[in-house]
Structure 1
Amino acid sequence: MGRSLQAMQDDDMANPAMLWVQEGAALWTRRAGSADKSCADCHGDVGGMAGVAARYPAFAAGLGRPVDLEQRINLCRTDKQKADALADESRELLALAAYVARQSRGRPIAPPDDARLQPFIAAGDALYRRRQGQLNLSCAQCHDDNAGRKLGGATIPQAHPTGYPIYRLEWQGLGSLKRRLRNCLVGMRAEAYGYDAPEYVALELFLLSRARGMTLESPAVRP
């Protein structure tokens, strides 16, 4: 990431993702569903969310599997607010995720030390190294073997998920890590999984484990 982009990310007045954060602040106190509850009614001031995004995905005991931050938000909506789940990549869902994640900016990524997550992390590791698509590529071939080199004029990153939800200039909007993973699959000419596929959360968990201790930048800006 160049200096100008870094400066844009670090300046809340210039970072375009802050538009979603502002919307998330309004949604935090807006009541929804038949329970007529807001996020604030259960969680109080959003400052209490500091550190939360740095440890997601996390295991959801009621489901018997891990969920990412966006899925956790929707679980709160359906279980606590008795409201409809927000659509994947919808502006409202991304706004709430960005608002919550913003509270953890500057904190170290801290994956949960939960033995129940280990099989899912291992599955994510296997997916990361598995060749897929017509190009017969794996995530590792780009992000491990060729990290730092150029692809289409852009530097290949090491795939550390330190800034999601993220504003990409390419998208001219905010997007989740799932959206980025889907982009990679399409680039490999592989069939993208559905948004609710467990493969994405497994990959997110594995990537989070690799980034342990790195600083969370959410909401970040990238090319």
Structure 2
Amino acid sequence: MIHRALMLALLALPALAQERRSGFEDMAPQTQAMQRDDTSNPGMLWALEGEDLFRQPAGPAGQSCASCHAEGSMQGVAARYPAWDTARQAPIDLAGRIAQCRTDRQGAPPLARESQGLLALSAHVGQQSRGLPIAPPADPRLDAARVQGAALYAERRGQLDLSCAQCHDDHPGRRLAGSIIPQAHPTGYPLYRLEWQALGSLQRRLRGCMTGVRAEPFAYGAPEYIAIELFLMSRAAGLAVETPAVRP
């Protein structure tokens, strides 16, 4: 009960301080237009590749993702992740679930984090929830990880001794090195970042922030990243999924 009360209090802080808004609202009109138009959005190249991979047989059984998941069954899925993984008794993010399904059910070789194939499949599945509100699962088994994520978000780290909250809760809308500081709502991942000239996951962005404050980032797939994502998705509840989004 104490953990749950602490979690709810932490989640309420940014909402009380200001109106929530997607990072899309802070972008230049040209970048907004790029995201709106699927023929101009570079992230759609990965989403289209993911659609092909979703239908292609993989593993010794020769099954595809589509063999189990009917057309349209992925709608709303990305809006509900991270979720609880009963088999592993731990939270799992969407990319982790996709990789798990391919290895456990299809017997296919594992897809590495940030690999082209996993990003493409994640973009395709995420696109099926585009426009739907983020709806974190009301699963008490996730509470401890959400609280951990909130603590990590507020924790000062690195040689610069900065926390996520100091930038994204205290100073959104201001500029840092010429770029507008967003509220850090994870509405569009995996997304195409102009700085990267590629699609990337939320974990890649978190790692970039950590190295930016001169802190040692966690390894890809670390439970700490999933805990932070759980907190961020709860903090962004109700905002629309934009996958694949475009950001500066």
- TM superposition score normalised by structure 2: 0.89
Establish whether residue 126 from structure 1 lines up as the match of residue 151 from structure 2: yes
The residue that corresponds to 2:43 in the other structure is 17
- Distance in 1, Cα, partners of 2:106 & 2:137: 26
Establish whether residue 178 from structure 1 lines up as the match of residue 224 from structure 2: no
The residue that corresponds to 1:97 in the other structure is 122
**Letter in structure 1 aligned against 2:102:** R
| Aligned mate of 2:164, from 121, 134, 139 | 139
Cα RMSD between the aligned structures? Answer: 0.6
- TM superposition score normalised by structure 1: 0.98
How far the C-alpha of 1:149 sits from its partner, in A, is: 0.5
Establish whether residue 40 from structure 1 lines up as the match of residue 82 from structure 2: no
How far the C-alpha of 1:84 sits from its partner, in A, is: 1.5
- Distance in 2, Cα, partners of 1:196 & 1:97: 14
The residue that corresponds to 1:5 in the other structure is 31
**Letter in structure 2 aligned against 1:37:** Q
Seq. identity, %? 61
How far the C-alpha of 1:196 sits from its partner, in A, is: 2.2
Q: Secondary structure in 2 aligned to 1:97?
A: helix
- Distance in 1, Cα, partners of 2:135 & 2:55: 27
| Aligned mate of 2:138, from 94, 107, 113 | 113
Q: Secondary structure in 2 aligned to 1:59?
A: strand
- Distance in 2, Cα, partners of 1:137 & 1:92: 34
Task: List structure 1 runs of 4+ shifted beyond 3 angstroms.
Answer: none
Deviations 1:99-124 (A, max 9, x none): 00001000000000000000000000
**Letter in structure 2 aligned against 1:31:** P
Establish whether residue 73 from structure 1 lines up as the match of residue 91 from structure 2: no
Q: Secondary structure in 2 aligned to 1:95?
A: helix
How far the C-alpha of 1:31 sits from its partner, in A, is: 0.6
- Distance in 1, Cα, partners of 2:115 & 2:211: 20
**Letter in structure 2 aligned against 1:70:** A
**Letter in structure 2 aligned against 1:9:** Q
The residue that corresponds to 1:61 in the other structure is 86
Q: Secondary structure in 2 aligned to 1:48?
A: coil
Provide structure 1 residue ranges, at least 5 long, that are not aligned to the other structure.
none
Q: Secondary structure in 1 aligned to 2:205?
A: helix
- Distance in 2, Cα, partners of 1:10 & 1:48: 24
- Distance in 2, Cα, partners of 1:172 & 1:214: 26
How far the C-alpha of 1:56 sits from its partner, in A, is: 0.5
How far the C-alpha of 1:36 sits from its partner, in A, is: 1.5
**Letter in structure 2 aligned against 1:202:** A
How far the C-alpha of 1:35 sits from its partner, in A, is: 2.0
How far the C-alpha of 1:34 sits from its partner, in A, is: 1.7
| Aligned mate of 2:184, from 159, 172, 186 | 159
Deviations 1:182-219 (A, max 9, x none): 00000010001000210000000000000000011110
Establish whether residue 194 from structure 1 lines up as the match of residue 211 from structure 2: no
**Letter in structure 2 aligned against 1:97:** S
Number of equivalenced pairs: 222
Tell me which moved more, 197-206 or 32-41.
Answer: 32-41
How far the C-alpha of 1:44 sits from its partner, in A, is: 1.9
**Letter in structure 1 aligned against 2:30:** S
